[in-house]
Amino acid sequence: MAKVRDRADDDHDLDAPRTRTPRAGAGGRWWVGVGRVLLWAFIIVVIFNGIWFPIRNGFSLPGSSAAEPETSESAAFPETSAAAFALRFAGTYLDTSDPEARQAALAAFVPEGETGGMNLPADSLSGDNLTVVAVDVLDDHNARVVVRADVNGEPMSLQVPVYSDGDALVLSGRPALMAAPAQAELPRAQSYDTDEQAAEQLADTLSGFFEVYAEEAGHLDRYVEPGATIAPLPANTLEFDELSDITVPSRSSTGDDDVRQVSATVAWSLPSTEPDEGAAGAGAMEQNYLVTVVNSGNEWYVRDIQGAPHSFSG
């Protein structure tokens, strides 16, 4: 017969807290386990790829019959060497004063057996003032070198076809006489506002500068900006005559109006080269300069001097 529990005992049991068994993974341990699994999976993938990729790439390498990609660019055509080569050839080709010596000299420029095709009568051609004006590169091995020359006293050009094998040069065909390179048409000079007051201030400064620039180099520092260096002309080459023109822009191109680039036209006297002419000069000439000047607050100084571009009126 089952024992009947006392009600008081039941009430006591209801009031007491029950002991609970902790669940698996309680307290965050479950996430620690997941993190370990993911870490090991990552390590296995890295190791697998480190072994498999080199093997797979080895399987995919092309066979010996497959064309290998170029690893370096082809060498560019040797323009400088070709220009010098063509200039020497042109000097030989246009000198017909001694046909026999000319034929022997041409052998250094043309393929074997081709000198006969360049025979010319004695004194039929002469070339002076030779200079290379262009190298027209056709591909990695071929170019046309244009040599400007006065041929029999007339301006012309000689186009010289040159072949390069990478190590040496040779003519690839006969040269061709053509018209001289065309002369460019100079555009009209750009106009700008001028500063007449600054021009008046600079007239004496620049006149003094150009005089010592040519004749009294020891006094050049008097006109040159402190810290700047300007080399004077060699002694006894020119004599200052006058500053015939000076143009000062109203505003500096840099935005600093204390620094200006001044256009100056200088008249020089040329010293005599003949002893019996005494102190008399041999002549005169005008030249154009672009002078950078700096205003120190109460005086102008020269910072730089160059030849002036676009000095023609156009």
Q: How do residues 134-164 score in pLDDT, each as one tens digit?
A: 999 999 999 999 999 999 999 999 999 999 9
262 alpha carbon, distance to own chain's centre: 27
Tens digits of residue pLDDT in 197-245: 899 999 999 999 999 999 888 899 999 999 999 999 998 899 999 999 9
| Residue-level pLDDT at 235 | 87
Q: Which residue has the higher pLDDT, 304 or 53?
A: 304
Q: Which domains does the chain have, with CATH numbers?
A: 79-179 (3.10.450.540), 196-307 (3.10.450.540)
Q: In this structure, are residues 156 and 177 in contact, taking their beta carbons and an 8 Å threshold?
A: yes
Q: Is residue 277 helix, strand or coil?
A: helix
Q: What is the mean pLDDT of residues 99-107?
A: 96
Q: Which letter, b or e, does each residue of 303-312 get, where b requires 16 or more Cβ atoms within 10 Å of its Cβ? A: bebeebeebe
pTM confidence score? 0.59
For the chain, what is the mean pLDDT?
83
Q: What is the mean pLDDT of residues 114-126?
A: 94
| Residue-level pLDDT at 2 | 45
Question: Is residue 50 very low, low, confident or very high in pLDDT (cuts 50, 70, 90)?
Answer: low
Q: What is the mean pLDDT of residues 9-29?
A: 52
| Residue-level pLDDT at 183 | 87
Question: Is residue 129 very low, low, confident or very high in pLDDT (cuts 50, 70, 90)?
Answer: very high
Q: Is 18 left (phi over 0), alpha (psi -120 to 50) or beta?
A: beta
Above 70 in pLDDT, residue 4? no
78: its two tokens: 């040797």
Q: Which residue has the higher pLDDT, 68 or 179?
A: 179
